[in-house]
Structure 1
Amino acid sequence: MPTARLSGLNALVIGGSSGIGQTLAEGFQREGARVAIAARTTDKVSRVTERLRESDSSALGYTVDVTERQAIDRLATDVSRDMGTLDILVNCQGTTVIKPATEVSEAEFDQVLDTNLKSVYFTSTVLGGLMLDRGQGAIINIASLAAHRGWPNACAYSISKHGILGLTRTLAAEWAEQGVRVNSISPGFFLTELNRDRMPAERKQAALTRTPYNRFGEVDELVGAALFLASEESGFVTGTDISVDGGYLAGGI
């Protein structure tokens, strides 16, 4: 029987209590990783942690607001105490505001940027410090098609996701010699808790029209890319973004 691809590795998925993050946490666990999740809502964290513990009693869950720097410091302390080492970090936290740019308030702008970009910077630099201390590790940031195109009526979100690509590439270049790889995944259109009820019907139809596969993605279809970036199979891959988008970015007219 072949060895699980992540056997013996410790993984932390921030935003792992729902949607893409939960799916990645479950996928990592199936491949042998010891998994911890972190998210803001206690009930959701508890529910998913209990589900993970059905397969591995050592699974962990942390309730944390990663928009607060001190909370990230505490998370790093807890992870170091509970897991000993950290091999894989996934940043999957995210929020959005769907409205014209001129109508976005300062508070709404700050909420999106704090959640989608600022928190990823500090989770990467603080928790990544646990990897730098050992000279090995893999960070995977969840970007978006909005990191590659202008995204009307989601300006703050698009800004934050463009920032994720810049952060990913810069940390990759800075940390390569120290053994820590940093990559990102840009999902195409996947109906998740974040966007299912916020995306207008006409926007959903436009997404399908511009996606050569002519369908929405299934979140399980993101697991393969994440496993590749988390495992030794991508040992010489850093600073790269993998688009899992049904051909959206490749499509023409």
Structure 2
Amino acid sequence: MKNYGLKDRVVCITGGASGIGRAAAMALARDGARVAIIDLREADIGPVLDEIRSHGVKASGFAMDVRDADATMRAADHFEREIGPVDGLFACAGISLTAPAEILPEADFEDVLDINLKGLFLTCRAFGGRMVERGKGSIVVIGSVDGLGGHAGRLHYVSSKHGVSGLAKNLAIEWGRHGVRVNCIAPGFVDTPLLRANMPPAFIDAVVDRTPLGRMGMAEEMASVALMLLSDAASFVTGAVLPIDGGLTSGFFTRKQGGDYSSKKLLEAGVYTE
């Protein structure tokens, strides 16, 4: 079991009822942190809180839409009363839709930007503002490898995630002198039931082929890096955008795509000599 040194810290997770957010919540509970969960539906939050509390730690939930500015402030008040002032924020709430740019509905573009970027801003303002007042805190937001480049058919999502990276960098600049660190993780493809249900096997095979580590990531691996960034182990890290993608964005060709680049093969081909 990993130890992140977050015992008795209060950490809020948006989108904490599923996926990476839920994985982070369980890791925090095992570490002894007090965990605050935000998600859309009370029915989804309840089972997560029960599991967190089974580890003997305090937990609190708040059902809301991250696009609701007033609700974000009420959530911050609620958690402060229930389990204490929030020391760390892991912002996971977001959606992903797919459509070619030329037929992309305006409503879909607005929804993705509103949730992924505006909702993130409102959440950071509500919780980060209080961290600034107290002179300490740490925030980790979820970007994407799609925030490092482009991805055909995902203009709205890509635009939102480029915005997320910029938001993290700007808040790091503004809040650093107030003792508040802000970082962004950029997950690659994460192996979840939802992904496998919505992506054809040929697409998954192509992703794995292009990933140097030869597989997709797991939600627990994304959460692990986020918790490290929230902890004192990353006390001099702020404004970073960290890919967690198995090397997907490191280059252009994998061994399978580009051929065998072993020294023996290159020597045989006369590309270089020892």
Cα shift at 1:3: 7.7
2:194 and 2:148 map into 1 onto residues whose CA distance is 19
Structure-2 residue corresponding to 1:128: 128
1:9 aligns with 2:15: no
Q: Report 1:40-51 matches (<5 A).
A: 40-51=40-51
Query: Aligned in 2, Cα 1:118/1:218: closer, same or farther, shift over 3 Å?
Result: same
Contact 1:95 / 1:116 at 8 angstroms: preserved in 2? yes
Range that drifts further, 33-42 or 196-205: 196-205
Query: Aligned in 2, Cα 1:114/1:194: closer, same or farther, shift over 3 Å?
Result: farther
Structure 1, unaligned runs of 5 or more? none
Instruction: Give 3-state SS (helix, strand or coil) of 2:13's partner.
Output: strand
Contact 1:212 / 1:251 at 8 angstroms: preserved in 2? no
Q: Report 1:105-144 matches (<5 A).
A: 105-144=105-144
Cα shift at 1:206: 2.3
Alpha-carbon RMSD across the aligned residues, in angstroms, is 1.7
Contact 1:11 / 1:34 at 8 angstroms: preserved in 2? yes
1:201 and 1:113 map into 2 onto residues whose CA distance is 29
Cα shift at 1:51: 1.2
What do the CA deviations read for 1:178-197 (whole angstroms, capped 9, x no partner)?
00000011111102365343
Structure-2 residue corresponding to 1:197: 197
Structure-1 residue corresponding to 2:71: 71
1:183 aligns with 2:151: no
Contact 2:60 / 2:79 at 8 angstroms: preserved in 1? no
Query: Aligned in 2, Cα 1:193/1:132: closer, same or farther, shift over 3 Å?
Result: farther
Structure-1 residue corresponding to 2:256: none
Kindly tell me the number of residue pairs found equivalent between the two proteins: 252
Cα shift at 1:4: 5.8
Structure-2 residue corresponding to 1:88: 88
1:3 and 1:64 map into 2 onto residues whose CA distance is 30
Structure-2 residue corresponding to 1:29: 29
- Aligned amino acid, residue 167 of structure 1: L
Structure-2 residue corresponding to 1:146: 146
Instruction: Give 3-state SS (helix, strand or coil) of 1:184's partner.
Output: strand
Range that drifts further, 99-108 or 117-126: 99-108
Instruction: Give 3-state SS (helix, strand or coil) of 1:163's partner.
Output: helix
Range that drifts further, 169-178 or 240-249: 240-249
Contact 1:136 / 1:179 at 8 angstroms: preserved in 2? yes
1:105 and 1:3 map into 2 onto residues whose CA distance is 45
Superposition TM-score, scaled by structure 1 size: 0.94
Cα shift at 1:57: 4.9
Cα shift at 1:170: 0.2
1:56 and 1:45 map into 2 onto residues whose CA distance is 18
Contact 1:20 / 1:192 at 8 angstroms: preserved in 2? no
Structure-2 residue corresponding to 1:166: 166
Cα shift at 1:227: 2.1
Superposition TM-score, scaled by structure 2 size: 0.87
Contact 2:88 / 2:230 at 8 angstroms: preserved in 1? yes
What do the CA deviations read for 1:159-191 (whole angstroms, capped 9, x no partner)?
000000000000000000000000011111102
What do the CA deviations read for 1:141-160 (whole angstroms, capped 9, x no partner)?
01111001201111100100
1:47 and 1:8 map into 2 onto residues whose CA distance is 21
Contact 2:143 / 2:184 at 8 angstroms: preserved in 1? yes
Instruction: Give 3-state SS (helix, strand or coil) of 2:198's partner.
Output: coil
Query: Aligned in 2, Cα 1:247/1:3: closer, same or farther, shift over 3 Å?
Result: closer
Contact 2:66 / 2:115 at 8 angstroms: preserved in 1? yes
The alignment-based identity, stated in percent, is 38
Cα shift at 1:200: 3.7
Query: Aligned in 2, Cα 1:149/1:57: closer, same or farther, shift over 3 Å?
Result: same
- Aligned amino acid, residue 28 of structure 2: F
- Aligned amino acid, residue 84 of structure 1: G
